[in-house]
Structure 1
Amino acid sequence: MSLGEREKAAGATKPTAQEAWAAAAYSILISVAETYHAVITYKELGEEIQRRTGIRTKALLQNWITPVLGRVVREAHRRGDPPLTALVVHTGDGKVGTGYAEVLTVAGKPPVEGEMEREHHAAEARLACYRRFCRDLPPDGGRPALAPRLQATVERRRRRVEKPPQVCGRCFVQLPSTGVCDSCGQSHSRRE
């Protein structure tokens, strides 16, 4: 019995917009999970939910998507499916939203400490989704991965940290990008 059918059988005569949206979201997220390392943005999901259901809203996405995804979290838990909402990320940074905490709450697990710990938990949850629904996993069963946009940000930061700043050998101050020391005026060759 689908999410909408179960709620309908519980006494509702016609599914509410949120019930219809949650049922559509569930189906959409299973489709996303069929592609290894695929994710969907909140915006893409919101647009596709409204397109599939024909139920539109002018409300801001953040005002209606969280309760819809909360229904998806509870339904996935009830069905024994992995937390499909781990597949939904923000467009700008590739991170799951703070509403992801509901995945842990429903599973009876303690909240995670810190944003990156939450992202790594979501990466593990996404891998569980791919393992359940994707037919083309790598031979080793796949690996958890941050969303592509977030992974790119992490790698850029790592490269910046790994490359120490150039320092003037005479004054022991960090050199500007020109390679000429602001203190003594000595020119230093730039390291690549």
Structure 2
Amino acid sequence: MNREHGGAVGQLDTQETRRRWSEEAYSALVDVARTYHAVITYKELAEEIQARSGIRTKVLLHNWIGPILGRVVREAHRRGDPPLTALVVHSDDGMVGAGYKEVLEIAGQPPLDGVEERERHAAEARLACYRHFGATLPADGGIAALSPRHQAAVERRRGGGRTPPPVCAGCFVELPATGVCDSCG
């Protein structure tokens, strides 16, 4: 069954489509959770949901994915599962979306102060998902980690742990590759 929905949001607004997409999203996220430190982008998840359900849409992703993930948040909470939506990240920055606040609301937790606090919370939630859904973990039980793309951005902001380039002791100018100052010789 390969049905295609057109461009109008109203055409998507069927309970059956949302129910099917939510079920497929839940199943896809459980699959992701079975691989330690795995994440999935919103775009990849949207494609997976549509492929699994056989129901496709031309409606822009940001117009329909939020309500589907909201259903996943509520279902995970109802089942006593960790918040699977922590596994879904933006492709450009590797961070969970602003809708992640629903995870906290459903769990009765207070809102988080900032983006980095939200990302740390999501990293802990991802680790809980890996443990709960049977990912093969290191002997120490694994660690919570930012998504690879977000971790790379954090390291770039910190200077990536690189040592600063050598400078001339006489004029304090960065030394060329030769290691001999062009000014002081």
Same fold (TM over 0.5): yes
Q: What is the deviation of 1:164?
A: 5.5
Q: What is the deviation of 1:108?
A: 0.4
Q: How does 1:143-182 map to 2 (within 5 A)?
A: 143-159=143-159, 163=163
CA distance in 1, matches of 2:61, 2:92: 15
Please report the TM-score for the alignment, with normalisation by the length of structure 1: 0.78
CA distance in 2, matches of 1:161, 1:139: 27
Q: What is the deviation of 1:135?
A: 3.9
CA distance in 1, matches of 2:175, 2:108: 51
Residue aligning to 1:59 = 59
Encode CA deviations 1:24-67: one digit per residue, 9 max, x unaligned.
00000000000000000000000010011111111110110000
Amino acid at match of 2:141: G
CA distance in 2, matches of 1:86, 1:177: 45
CA distance in 2, matches of 1:124, 1:103: 13
Q: What is the deviation of 1:170?
A: 7.3
CA RMSD of aligned residues (A): 2.4
CA distance in 2, matches of 1:20, 1:177: 62
CA distance in 2, matches of 1:19, 1:161: 46
Between the aligned residues of both structures, percent identity stands at: 64
CA distance in 2, matches of 1:64, 1:15: 13
* Aligned residue pair count: 169
Amino acid at match of 1:140: D
CA distance in 2, matches of 1:156, 1:188: 32
CA distance in 2, matches of 1:162, 1:110: 37
Q: 1:188 to 1:142 in 2, by over 3 A?
A: farther
Encode CA deviations 1:136-160: one digit per residue, 9 max, x unaligned.
1111111000001111111222226
Q: How does 1:122-133 map to 2 (within 5 A)?
A: 122-133=122-133
Q: 1:28 to 1:188 in 2, by over 3 A?
A: farther
Encode CA deviations 1:163-185: one digit per residue, 9 max, x unaligned.
5587787787xx58979xxxxxx
